[in-house]
Amino acid sequence: MRTAVLQFPGSCDERDALAAARLVGDADLHWHRDRDLRGADVVVVPGGFSYGDYLRAGAIARFSPAMESVVELAGEGGLVLGICNGFQVLCEAGLLPGALLPNAGRRFTFRQVDLEVVRTDTAFTSACEPGERLSVPAKHSWGRYYAPEETLDALEAGGQVLLRYDSAHNFNGSLRDIAGVMNAAGNVFGLMPHPEHAVDARTGSTDGLRIFESLRLAVEGARA
């Protein structure tokens, strides 16, 4: 499996995502101006402050040439993972429903959070045990997941909410404790916490590896 990790001016966590993706397969950084994804099985839109978060987090990155290809790839069923700023970009690009608003506390906040895995039968969570809780760091200023009530109802009914914060750890005030959502087709997933920062016991937990391991299983399963 080969993963392309997008790199925008202002990306911060792209090397971390690259290292995490390399634990489960081949991976490269992919420059935002480069339209050709060269047959990547998975695209990761990483965290950071693409374009300095000017205008609105993720609002400018969605217009880059690479993102146009990502939208195409998503339309063809390719796997796309957006982390933190990448989640914001995917929402801005219309690949995922809802929006990320400023944290309830109006401050950048960094904490280790517990996440409840809502579903384990998806391309992004199949390596998790049912009912498992993941300990993963979160760090952002704009992480409050918001969507209209009807959308939230539909997301829950459609099984598109894959991760929820432990309610005591929902520091950003996300509606219904939502930490990560998938599109209806099941091939695009965005989350605010950082699984790529939870892949080495020396620097924290290894729980985030499950997300990358799930992607590997999905790609290899599709090939088998």
Partner 1 sequence: MPSPPTPTVDEAIALGLTSDEHALISEKLGRAPNQVELAVFSLLWSEHCAYKHSKKLLRTLPTEGPQVIMGPGENAGAVDVGGGLACVFKVESHNHPSAVEPFQGAATGVGGILRDIFALGARPIAVLDSLRFGDPERSERSRYLLDGAVRGIGHYGNSIGVPTVGGEVYFEEPYEHNCLVNAMAIGLGERDKLVRSAAAGVGNVVVLYGASTGRDGIGGASVLASAELGEADEDKRPTVQVGDPFEESKLLECSLELLERGLIVALQDLGAAGLSSSASEMASKGAVGIDLDVARVPLREADMEPFEIMVSESQERMLCVVEPSNVPDVLAVCERWEVHGTAIGEVTGSGRLRVLHGERVVGDMPVAALVDDCPLYDLAPARPEKPLYAPAPATLAADATAQEALLALLASPNVASRRPLFEQYDAIVQSRTVRRPEECDAAVLLLPDGGAIAASIDGNGRRVAADPYRGTIGAVLECASNLACAGAEPLGTTNCLNFGNPEKPHIAWQLVEAVRGLGDACRALDAPIVGGNVSLYNEGASGPIYPTPVVGMVGRLPDASRAGRTGFVQEGDAVAIVGRREPSLAASELSRLRGEPLPDRLDDVDVADVRATQEAIRDAVRDGLLSSVHDVAEGGLAVALAECCLAGGIGARAELPQAGEPPVAPSVALFGENPGAFVVSGHPTALAQLAERVHLDIVGEVGGESLHVICGAAGIDSSLAELHAAHDSLRRFFP
Binding site for partner 1 (CB under 8 A): 9-13, 15-16, 19, 48-49, 51-54, 107-111, 137, 139, 141, 194, 196-197, 199-204
CB of 108 to partner 1, least distance (A): 5
> 3-state SS string over 197-210?
HCCCHHHCCCCCHH
For the question of residue 116 being annotated catalytic, the response is no
CA atoms within 13 A on the CB side of 136: 30
CB of 114 to partner 1, least distance (A): 15
The DSSP annotation for 65-105 comes to HHHHHHHHHHHTT-EEEEETHHHHHHHHTTSSSSEEE--TT
For the question of residue 128 being annotated catalytic, the response is no
Q: How far apart are CA 129 and CA 38, in angstroms?
A: 33
CB of 15 to partner 1, least distance (A): 7
For tokens 């391991």, name the residue.
213
Nearer to partner 1, 14 or 118 (CB): 14
Q: How far apart are CA 125 and CA 112, in angstroms?
A: 19
For the question of residue 194 being annotated catalytic, the response is yes
For tokens 């390399």, name the residue.
22
* Residue tagged active-site, from 30, 32, 140, 194: 194
* Residue tagged active-site, from 32, 84, 116, 128: 84
Nearer to partner 1, 107 or 223 (CB): 107
CB of 123 to partner 1, least distance (A): 24
Catalytic (active-site) positions: 84, 194, 196
